[in-house]
Structure 1
């Protein structure tokens, strides 16, 4: 997904998420987070001595989102508000590591079930932290361009017919919701 970070090792990709493979995904992802020079220190500071509580909670969270288990009880925004020093590049790295880990473990139709909520969560957290007018980091925009299928714009959406890139890329926004924020081109 991004050549500046090492890719996740490919394991046997599965077609359907289950509690067991979601657990493997979560633990594999957080192994990468902990080893990452940008994210590792943030997570280690925040979760010092609490990893054994956090990881099962994340398994429950993702099972609730992907399998509809409805067992997770918590507030994602509230849980992330106290994190100090978080910048846009942290979200870009988190997204890269998560989406790459998902892609290495799931067939595309199953992977999308994780990718859509991950993108919504990242956007929601970025909006709450940086406001409606933040600039999406270039590496995150590149990641979105690569993995996010594009929708056609609605008839009532404005579009720029003078955009020199208009014929080179599909029009519209990445799924599942419009990404709010300015791109590097804006």
Structure 2
């Protein structure tokens, strides 16, 4: 499957610039959404960049999230105590799916793989968010990689 595309998901989404557009468009929707806005009460502009850096690493771009922002452990810790509900997770997915449709290239497989990653990741974030801040998460391993065939 990946061979037919001849690039990583990172390249296919447009690299860091494409991921910034995706994150910008998504958080514009989230911050206007009554169900999700409270989850992002501490939102800052830096969050958009951090998300773009995280996704870049996940989609086989530069490993800058691990090198500069604390890696997988830091991402999981950021979700501790948020208490994300299944209703919020589903709404998050609805808004992200709409943003993917608007911001990513018109490539059905690309869009499907990106959405599959977000579905997988939001389930983990929801589970982690049920634990209070400071919870020992153990060693979650390296930043996951997601490609044309899903989780690598």
Q: TM-score range by the shorter chain?
A: 0.5 to 0.7
Counterpart in the other structure of 2:20: 23
Aligned-residue offset at 1:41: 2.3
4+ runs of 1 displaced by more than 6 Å?
none
Residues 30-69 of structure 1 mapped to structure 2, 5 A cutoff:
30-43=27-40, 45-47=41-43, 51-69=44-62
Shift of 1:82: 2.5
Relative contact order higher in (CA < 8 Å, ≥ 6 apart) = 2
The answer to which structure has the higher helix fraction is 2
Q: Contact 2:21/2:103 (CA < 8 Å) preserved in 1?
A: no
Select the structure of larger CA radius of gyration: 1
Instruction: Compute the TM-score of the two structures, normalised by the length of structure 1.
Output: 0.54
Q: Which residue of 2 is the match for residue 183 of structure 1?
A: none
- CA deviation profile, 1:19-62 (whole Å, cap 9, x unmatched): 2121111100000001111111221x232xxx122111111011
Alpha-carbon distance change, 83 to 77 in structure 1, aligned in 2, over 3 angstroms = same
Alpha-carbon distance in structure 1 between the residues aligned to 2:21 and 2:51: 11
RMSD of the TM alignment (CA)?
2.5
Match of 2:77 in 1: 78
- In structure 1, the residue corresponding to 2:13 is in which secondary structure? coil
Contact 2:30–2:95 (CA<8 Å) still a contact in 1?
yes
Query: CA shift at 1:97, angstroms?
Result: 0.7
Structure 2, unaligned runs of 5 or more = 1-10, 132-148
Q: Which runs of 5+ in 1 are unaligned?
A: 1-14, 132-174, 178-186
From the superposition, tell whether residues 127 and 82 of structure 1 become closer, same or farther in structure 2 (CA, over 3 Å). Answer: closer
